[in-house]
């Protein structure tokens, strides 16, 4: 198991090693020690490896991830799993702003709380937050699922497209064109699968409310001008 101590080894060397994994390699588990808030840890991976980051990270950890399973044993700064394509990124602590921004696939699990703009412009990623999320989360979210076991801040789902939002707690306010919708059997099935993947065993999908787009802002309409 390759181990990189970022107190000694340059971050560039870690990321280059993760990019250069040869086909058929047995080195499929990487351990990262002493990240000490470093930015861009384990970015741009495109291989079915697992990476354990033993501490807190700064900006953009796990960005552009494809295939890899990345576990952050601490908290993450802004933009964790930004533009993620596939794989799994798990944060054992809290996440700062715009976690999972523009994500196109894969699963992001935040076991603590997420700050503002969680899931902004998400394009297919699934995000499960065990705690609360901040304001303007899922702004312009296009597709995918955002699951929140706690509460949501102001302007949830502002200018939402077709992403599905599930919140178990309270929502401070809904953004423009976001409304509460029926929680149908197919949504309960989706929710249960996501909760299972995220390791949530003590919560039932029926406890959530679903929010989605009212579909009034897809095309400009002068009658809706105040909402733009």
Q: Note the pLDDT tens digit of each residue in 201-220.
A: 999 999 999 999 999 877 66
Q: Which has the higher per-residue pLDDT, 55 or 221?
A: 55
**Count of domains for the chain:** 1
DSSP-derived 3-state class of residue 188: helix
DSSP state of 150: S
| Averaged pLDDT for residues 129-155 | 98
Q: How many CB atoms lie within 10 A of CB 196?
A: 10
- Which tokens is 216 given? 């009034």
Host domain of residue 135: 3-227
Q: Looking at residue 132, which CATH number applies to its domain? A: 2.160.20.60
Residue 36 pLDDT exceeds 90: yes
Residues 45 and 67: beta-carbon distance below 8 Å = yes
Q: Which of 145, 143, 106 is nearest to 129 (CA)?
A: 145
| pLDDT of amino acid 112 | 98
pLDDT of residue 228: 54
């Amino acid at each position: 198991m390759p181990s990189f101590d970022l107190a000694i080894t340059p971050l560039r060397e870690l990321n280059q090693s993760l990019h250069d994994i040869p086909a058929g390699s047995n080195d499929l588990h990487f351990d990262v020690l002493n990240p000490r808030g470093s930015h861009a840890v384990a970015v741009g991976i495109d291989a079915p490896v697992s990476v354990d980051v033993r501490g807190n990270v700064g900006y953009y950890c796990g960005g552009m991830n494809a295939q890899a399973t990345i576990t952050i044993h601490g908290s993450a700064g802004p933009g964790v799993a930004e533009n993620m394509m596939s794989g799994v990124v798990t944060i054992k602590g809290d996440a700062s702003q715009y976690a999972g921004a523009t994500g196109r696939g894969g699963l992001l699990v935040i076991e603590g709380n997420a700050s503002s703009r969680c899931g902004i412009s998400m394009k297919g990623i699934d995000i499960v937050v065990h705690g609360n999320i901040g304001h303007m989360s899922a702004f312009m979210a296009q597709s995918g699922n955002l699951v929140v076991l706690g509460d949501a801040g102001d302007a949830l789902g502002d200018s939402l497209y077709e992403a599905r939002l599930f919140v178990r707690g309270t929502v401070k306010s809904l953004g423009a064109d976001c409304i509460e919708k029926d929680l149908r059997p197919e949504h309960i099935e989706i929710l249960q699968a996501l909760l299972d993947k995220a390791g949530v065993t003590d919560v039932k999908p029926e406890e959530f409310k679903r929010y989605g787009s009212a579909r009034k802002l897809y095309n400009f309409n002068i009658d809706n001008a105040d909402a733009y």
